[in-house]
Amino acid sequence: MLDSETIAAIADELAEADRTHGVIPRITARYPDATIEDSYAIQGIWRDKNVAAGRKLAGRKIGLTSKAMQQATGISEPDYGVMFDDTVYPSGAEIQFDEFSNVRVEVELAFVLKAPLEGPDCTLEDALAAIDYAVPALEVLNSHIELEGRTIVDTISDNAAYGAMVLGDVHKRPDEIDLRWVPGVLSRNGEIEETGVAAGVLGHPVKGVAWLANKFHQHGARLEAGEIILAGSFTRPMWVSKGDEVRCDYGEMGIITCRFV
């Protein structure tokens, strides 16, 4: 494991990369003994400094929950990061492309909690009971660590590569729709690039919420009512460029659009 000074120095390095929209060398190339616990400690320092600076927590993102994403990244274990309220956009938003690095888009579902959720034995049924509603979401990835050869330690340290989230307008309670079969048809500039269904996330997208509650228990924490949980992509990430128009059709859960300017 890394010592506290090294963890703090890496957190500062990533904060500067976030500020300048830059990319740093892989942590695991420089510190091959770094562990997953080290990476969450790095992320935690970055998070706490943002909270201290006045940013408001909106919720949590879960990543690498589908085979499509695991194959795309070469990482076989889920991870999580934090989302601040100034990173949440409505459908139709114009998003500043230059505020992000290695910009890609993923197709996801988000869940808003109506009750706290806590491990260590949280089940799918527990998570479904704690959810107020589901809403379609696009995640904008923002990677500040070089992509080639990165491991889960690199990704977690970089706040699980989270940049922003675009939320749709349609809300559904878990008992109103079979969440496993929500589709996603992702287009860039009018051309379909990726398709999938939400069952690609662990067989049921809410399983990711239960996984996160149990993971949080290991860190002495729980998910709170009102938090937005972004459950993980059921398509591969789609690269975007400045000027691109993005559209995703979620069937009966509506359509999300955004534009990178």
Q: Which of 107, 110, 104 is nearest to 143 (CA)?
A: 104
Sheet holding 191-197, edge to edge: 93-95, 255-260, 245-249, 183-188, 191-197
Residue 1 neighbours by CB under 8 Å, 6+ apart: 33, 34, 35, 37, 38
Sequence letter at residue 201: V
172/49 Cα distance (integer angstroms): 35
201 exposure class (CB count in 10 Å sphere: 0-12, 13-18, 19+): buried
In a domain, 78, yes or no: yes
pLDDT per position as a tens digit, 56-101: 999 999 987 767 666 766 666 778 999 999 999 999 999 999 999 9
Model's pTM, two decimal places? 0.94
**Average pLDDT across the chain, whole number:** 94
Strands 79-84 and 255-260: unpaired
Determine the pLDDT at residue 129: 98
In a domain, 20, yes or no: no
229/134 Cα distance (integer angstroms): 9
Residue 219 confidence class, pLDDT cut points 50, 70, 90: confident
Determine the pLDDT at residue 78: 79
pLDDT per position as a tens digit, 180-194: 999 999 999 999 999
In a domain, 38, yes or no: no
72/178 Cα distance (integer angstroms): 27
* Residue ranges making up the domain that contains 168: 57-260
In a domain, 240, yes or no: yes
Tokens 């659009």 locate to 257
In a domain, 29, yes or no: no
Determine the pLDDT at residue 66: 65
In a domain, 7, yes or no: no
Averaged pLDDT for residues 118-142: 97
In a domain, 2, yes or no: no
Averaged pLDDT for residues 127-141: 98
Domain count, the chain: 1
CATH of the domain at 179: 3.90.850.10
In a domain, 64, yes or no: yes
Per-position b or e across 115-141, b if 16+ CB within 10 A of its CB: eebbbeebebebbbebbeebbbbbbbb
